[in-house]
Structure 1
Amino acid sequence: YTWKNLKGRYKKFSNIINIHSKKSLNMGNTEAILKFEELEIDRSQGEVHEDWNIIQGRLRDNSVTVFSSTHPQSSRKRPFIEKALQASKVYRHPNILKYVDGGFLGNEVIIITEEAMPLLNYGLENMSFLQITAGLASVIEALCFLHDKAGLSHNNVCASSIYVTSEGIWKLWGLEYCCSFEDLTRDHIERINQYCSEKNIPPDEKSRITPAYQHARDAYFFGKFIETVIAPFMNASDYYEIEEFLSYIKLMALHKEWNKRPRFSSLLEHPVFQHDFLKLRNNLNNALILSTEEREEFLRGLPDVLKKYNDEVIASTFSSTLLSHSFLLIPSSATYLMPCLLTPKSDGNDVGLFSEKVFKESIIPHILNLFSIHDATIRKILLTHFSQFAPFIDKIKLSKFILPQLLLGIRDVDEDIVAKTLHALGHLIPLIGADVVTGVNREPIFAAATPKLVS
């Protein structure tokens, strides 16, 4: 499924389950509270993925993904399912699928995460080399965190453990079989191997891995993932680095001796991850920690850099960052970047970064979310460019959501917001009609007079 097709399958049917519950739970020796407030899911729309039933839902007005598993307490898999819940709560990283809520409902284990879908459902054939390498870099960074910061072995790095968010960002998950390096014993490996794909299991499993090489097991799994899933979609004729990278993976990550397999931090240094697109991704992620002068220089040149790439790739990879709350609060962002982001590209206008189609599909949803944020700086930015993007918003959303938000603005104490809001209301009239904007109690007050001409 494409993301849009899968997302479109979530609808509010009569058999939607609304969960309003607060239950005490016992997770091992830890007392926790499960609090699902207004979680809306349609179980008939769930799809089985490994040990989980995955359902797209809504929680507190946000789109979420719900993972549900009903392995009985007597099942040998049950401890691993509960491990996924515990690990999701503890291990947080921007490139690990974001945990929102979770716990138990009777015998059912429920984990709620940010909205995402399995990589295998996303359609790698529709991704460019730039998107695939950016995705791989995200997964490698997550594994660097697990290894170098958390001292954890993932133990099941494969396609089924990777998810893609609605913004096209790859996230690592599948934490059922993870364990600390200290617990990576032969007994633990034998227990989890029966649930892992046999072709992915390293050939040296029976040998004792010394502490200095405890990354080796995940490195082999990652190599198999590259070889079997990613390699068919990486055309060596597009970028010369690809062929060398695939050869390196086969030679080193899949080496039969564990002490020859590379650390994930060294993988990030490979030339395939050094192209300008990934440097741009890293610069965007680090923009907030730059000095004021460095950030000013970076943002001044950013529109020209972004225009070098396909607008669909830019929208799917960077739109959530570029239109994030924190990014909009950077003063130079409003000056150099927002005119390009909030104005679609058209025949008579080359300022915009995105075609009208991409703008409507990928940028408008972010703009709608920003109207829910009652921050003066963000609201002024939106109002300044309102006439450029308003025609691309659905009329129902304009009248039911945008108009009430604008009417709040005319009651604000900030005179600039009031003035800009009144201008925006004027631009709404040709889009949804004066009756909707001002109310239906209107009457003719001004007459159209014509001069009397004497012949």
Structure 2
Amino acid sequence: MDLLRNLGSAAVSSLVQKSGLNLPFTLGEKNTYFEGRTIWTLHDATKRDDGSAVSVFVFNANQPPRKNLLPFAKNALRKLRTVRHPDVLKFIDAVENDSMVYIMTERVTPLGQAIRDKSGAGREDWIIWGLQRISTALAFVNDSCVSTHGNVRQDSIFVSPSGEWKLGGFELLSSIKDDSAVLYTLGSLLPDANRFTSPEVKRGGWSTLKELQPSAADSFSLGLLIYTVFNPDEGLPPTANPPHPPPTPASRGNIPNTIFNMYKGLLIPTASVRLSPAAFLEAGMSQTGSGFFASNPYVRICTGLDQFNVSNEAEKNVLLRTLREASPNLPPEFASHRVLPTLVSALDFGATAQAILPIVLQLGVHAPPSHYSSIVLAPVTKLFASPDRGTRMALLEHLPQYIDKLDNKTVTDKVWPHLQTGFADTIAVIREATVKSIGLLYPKLNDRIMNNDLLRHLAKMQMDPEAAIRTNTCILLGRIAPALGYNTKKKVLVPAFARSLKDPFVHARVAGIMAFMATIDCFDAEDAATKVIPCISSTLIDREKLVRDQAFKAVELFVKKLETHAASMPETALNADGQPNTILPVSSQNAIVNSAAGAAGALAGWAMSSLGKKLAPGDLQSNMAPLSADRPASAPPPMNGSSSTSSSMAGPSHTTLSPTPSTLSSPAFSSNLGKPRGMQLGATKRTNPVDAWASSDLLDSTDNTDDWGAFSSVPASKASVPSASPSAADDLMELFDDWSPFANPPSSAPPVSANSSFGFDGTGFSTPVLTPTPMKPLSTPVLNPTPVNRMSSIAAPLNSPGSLPPPMVPIPVDKATELARRKEERKQRIAMLKEQKKQSAVRP
């Protein structure tokens, strides 16, 4: 069969080349089903202008038996050009000469072939809908055009890609006002025309139609068509032949009962009382009685679609409800080519877009894959620019249905710019839906958006007033973590999850712990030991059992990871000469600490002694002193309410310690102590992992206008010591829950507990402790490399008369003790002055 089709196409192409015609199409395969049924040969073709699919009807009069049929082909072309109706075969272009006629129409399939291939429960409804379309077309030809078709039969009807029936076969179509029309003069020459004609034509010839209504012959042919389409294998009914007996219930075959009575009226032998196509259509569309057309789902849908733009809201809602109910049973071709184009064109109206969009996506699955982008994706993507909240919400809710069809470029260029506005929406539902949508969209976002723009928005979402949004943001961060850049993961994940651990909403804290567990592969052993476990440890004593249980599981998981890593480490860090590779700050650190209290004291002593060795005298400043004017841009701003007791005297400046117990007890902190302003809070970014959420290289270092500080608007808190009461957790959140390096840092860190582990709380990596254990004051918390003895400072004036005592380093004592000390010093000074006066008086 393929060989015959190819030979036929080759023969036609050869004839076209010989004729010298310039065809606006490229002929394809020939339809073998249609071969020999009419005077035409049907070809699938492609339009040269735009490559669209078309059908071409070819008539070749070069063969002697077909030369007499040329007038029919010419008449069909002439009438098809002038008769335009939605239910008539759509004419596109034509080429003709003395022997060849080419008619290019929309892509169609012969009705007989479509019925043969049609199956399923909706076949009867589809046929009834088709008959309604043909009845509408015949009513138009008979009444509006005042013409007779004269060739109504199955081979004159074609099916479009949408499944709609189209009336063709205009070989005999003639106006009753034309006495020399083809219908009256040459009607009998058309092959098989007499088989489908009316009884009066069979008795008196085609000329008898001049005295009858234009619909007389077409009505009888329509009745025969009804029988044929419902009984495709039965041939014509007995009524078609003389003496034309009336149809009986036994002879109706598969014709539905609702149509049978009207069907009998079309086959009445007397033309004057025969039912016309217009009357048949009116009876079918009646809202009372049988109403076999009005009750048809296809008819209802098409009628609603045709009038959609002029319908009121109630009528639109009825149509949309009908579409939702019937969509599972609609033929794919009808849904994609008939329903979708109308609904897509209606998406531009914001008021109904939110109701139409779900149906468009539901029916879009029937669209051909090659056309899905143009039919569905293009208009849907355009809707992201709509300001209507209902439309945006519908887009986000149904994102799973079309996200797989979107390419990365479309998401980055057309979807993301409009989608990100949802993060700042004033409606919480929109913000939450926007956060959830990122879980589907992030694989299609580029690195710049993933590691910069998206994280900026998520930083704001973790401070959202809605607890559910904060929780979902943490869950989202855990999901997208593997897709982030290496540096971004190291600097963002710990502070982001740590913030969730301090959230007052219990499920947000659970989400933070589970996010740590889900992203365990994103942390190396060092980060797990120094950052992750300290952060999680504070939740081991959370007020909620759900949080505590999850925290213990998380710690166990990370400890196992560290155990595996520790097993692969060498037993010692000594080199080949037996010397350590690194020298510890003080010799006491070489000894093994056997108790937790000893570990805390050793860490504190090590931190204090190393400060004096690494900080230059000119760099020693008060940790409560405000930043000077030449403060580097990377350092955080000073705390509101902070105080300073720094001296302005000449010579080396001495650091004045606040009464707050020292927290500099971690070896990790000493790596940055040699930097300028090393004692300022927040001057070292690596001290607190929460600050790393924003101080990563994911931000543009030259862009200071759009940094994390823009999203952190928490006012600076006054310096305070964390309380041991349960209510202290909220204050600690304000002190430590800041992602931005430009936000105000806490005035003081929590005190080191005697039971704290190595690096916990002292490094700033941990979350606040609810029950801190006060640490005893250090014996000599002096940061000057050369400690000043108090008594020698007081006795100095005795050996140097007239000189003032050198500046002294205050001791962290309470106010009463300090007043007593100053009073005692004043007494001693007065006593010295009196003694000097006496000695000067005794001298000669």
TM-score, normalised via structure 1 length:
0.70
Matched, 1:66 2:80: no
Residue of structure 2 in register with 1:281 after alignment: 302
Structure 2 residue identity aligned to 1:368: S
Q: Using a 3 Å threshold, how does the CA distance of structure 1 residues 213 and 409 change in structure 2: closer, same or farther? A: same
Contact 2:76 2:170 in 1 (8 A): yes
Residue of structure 2 in register with 1:3 after alignment: none
Match of 1:51 among 14, 32, 39: 39
Structure 1 residue identity aligned to 2:399: S
Q: Using a 3 Å threshold, how does the CA distance of structure 1 residues 232 and 452 change in structure 2: closer, same or farther? A: closer
Contact 1:118 1:164 in 2 (8 A): yes
Match of 2:158 among 139, 143, 163: 163
Match of 1:259 among 272, 283, 292: 272
Q: Using a 3 Å threshold, how does the CA distance of structure 1 residues 429 and 24 change in structure 2: closer, same or farther? A: farther
Which structure 2 residues correspond to residues 79-94 of structure 1 after superposition, within 5 A?
79-94=71-86
Matched, 1:369 2:379: no
Match of 1:306 among 303, 306, 323: 323
Shift of 1:200: 1.1
Q: Using a 3 Å threshold, how does the CA distance of structure 1 residues 410 and 380 change in structure 2: closer, same or farther? A: closer
CA distance in 2, matches of 1:372, 1:86: 40
Partner-residue secondary structure (3-state), 1:93: coil
- Of 144-153 and 45-54, deviating more is 45-54
Contact 2:90 2:105 in 1 (8 A): yes
Count of residue pairs brought into register by the alignment = 394
Contact 2:150 2:197 in 1 (8 A): no
Over aligned residue pairs, what C-alpha RMSD do you find? 4.7
Q: Using a 3 Å threshold, how does the CA distance of structure 1 residues 88 and 327 change in structure 2: closer, same or farther? A: farther
- Of 218-227 and 378-387, deviating more is 378-387
Residue of structure 2 in register with 1:28 after alignment: none
- Of 204-213 and 256-265, deviating more is 204-213
Alpha-carbon displacement from aligned partner over 1:91-134 (angstroms, at most 9, x marks no partner): 11111111122213784321111121011111355252221111
Alpha-carbon displacement from aligned partner over 1:329-348 (angstroms, at most 9, x marks no partner): 33333121112321x4xxxx
Contact 2:172 2:183 in 1 (8 A): no
Matched, 1:453 2:537: no
Q: Using a 3 Å threshold, how does the CA distance of structure 1 residues 137 and 48 change in structure 2: closer, same or farther? A: closer
CA distance in 2, matches of 1:79, 1:138: 28
Contact 1:68 1:108 in 2 (8 A): yes
Contact 1:315 1:363 in 2 (8 A): no
- Of 62-71 and 363-372, deviating more is 363-372
Matched, 1:339 2:351: no
Residue of structure 1 in register with 2:128 after alignment: 133
Shift of 1:445: 6.1
Contact 1:241 1:272 in 2 (8 A): no
Shift of 1:178: 0.9
Residue of structure 2 in register with 1:351 after alignment: none
Where does structure 2 lack aligned partners over 5 or more consecutive residues?
A: 234-248, 284-290, 423-433, 451-483, 491-522, 531-757, 759-844
Which structure 2 residues correspond to residues 186-225 of structure 1 after superposition, within 5 A?
188-189=183-184, 191-197=186-192, 198-205=194-201, 206=204, 208-209=208-209, 213-225=213-225
- Of 165-174 and 378-387, deviating more is 378-387
Q: Using a 3 Å threshold, how does the CA distance of structure 1 residues 57 and 404 change in structure 2: closer, same or farther? A: farther
Partner-residue secondary structure (3-state), 1:56: strand
Shift of 1:361: 3.1
Shift of 1:369: 2.5
Q: Using a 3 Å threshold, how does the CA distance of structure 1 residues 58 and 404 change in structure 2: closer, same or farther? A: farther
Q: Using a 3 Å threshold, how does the CA distance of structure 1 residues 35 and 327 change in structure 2: closer, same or farther? A: farther
Matched, 1:119 2:111: yes
The structure where strand makes up a greater share of residues is 1
Shift of 1:88: 1.8
CA distance in 2, matches of 1:377, 1:228: 47
Q: Using a 3 Å threshold, how does the CA distance of structure 1 residues 390 and 335 change in structure 2: closer, same or farther? A: closer
CA distance in 1, matches of 2:43, 2:402: 32
CA distance in 2, matches of 1:417, 1:183: 64
Alpha-carbon displacement from aligned partner over 1:350-370 (angstroms, at most 9, x marks no partner): xxxx5xxxx533376664223
Shift of 1:229: 2.8
Where does structure 1 lack aligned partners over 5 or more consecutive residues?
A: 1-5, 26-33, 345-353
CA distance in 2, matches of 1:24, 1:151: 38
Which structure 2 residues correspond to residues 72-111 of structure 1 after superposition, within 5 A?
72=62, 75-104=67-96, 107-111=99-103
Q: Using a 3 Å threshold, how does the CA distance of structure 1 residues 86 and 338 change in structure 2: closer, same or farther? A: same
Partner-residue secondary structure (3-state), 2:269: coil
Larger Rg: 2
Shift of 1:137: 0.6
Residue of structure 1 in register with 2:256 after alignment: 242
Alpha-carbon displacement from aligned partner over 1:348-393 (angstroms, at most 9, x marks no partner): xxxxxx5xxxx53337666422379789956758994683343564
Contact 2:85 2:137 in 1 (8 A): yes
- Of 362-371 and 99-108, deviating more is 362-371
Q: Using a 3 Å threshold, how does the CA distance of structure 1 residues 61 and 184 change in structure 2: closer, same or farther? A: same
Alpha-carbon displacement from aligned partner over 1:51-82 (angstroms, at most 9, x marks no partner): 22222232213221222222239711112112
% identical equivalent positions: 19
Partner-residue secondary structure (3-state), 2:109: strand
Match of 2:144 among 121, 136, 149: 149
Specify which structure has the bigger relative contact order, considering alpha-carbon pairs within 8 angstroms and separated by 6 or more residues.
Answer: 1
CA distance in 2, matches of 1:56, 1:425: 45
Residue of structure 1 in register with 2:339 after alignment: 321
Contact 2:333 2:366 in 1 (8 A): no
CA distance in 2, matches of 1:373, 1:150: 40
Shift of 1:160: 0.6
Residue of structure 2 in register with 1:41 after alignment: 27
Match of 1:390 among 402, 410, 414: 402
CA distance in 2, matches of 1:331, 1:118: 40
CA distance in 2, matches of 1:172, 1:201: 17
Structure 1 residue identity aligned to 2:28: D
Residue of structure 1 in register with 2:685 after alignment: none
Partner-residue secondary structure (3-state), 2:138: helix
CA distance in 2, matches of 1:69, 1:418: 60
TM-score, normalised via structure 2 length:
0.40
CA distance in 1, matches of 2:82, 2:438: 47
Q: Using a 3 Å threshold, how does the CA distance of structure 1 residues 314 and 185 change in structure 2: closer, same or farther? A: same
Q: Using a 3 Å threshold, how does the CA distance of structure 1 residues 105 and 410 change in structure 2: closer, same or farther? A: farther
CA distance in 2, matches of 1:153, 1:165: 23
CA distance in 2, matches of 1:45, 1:232: 19
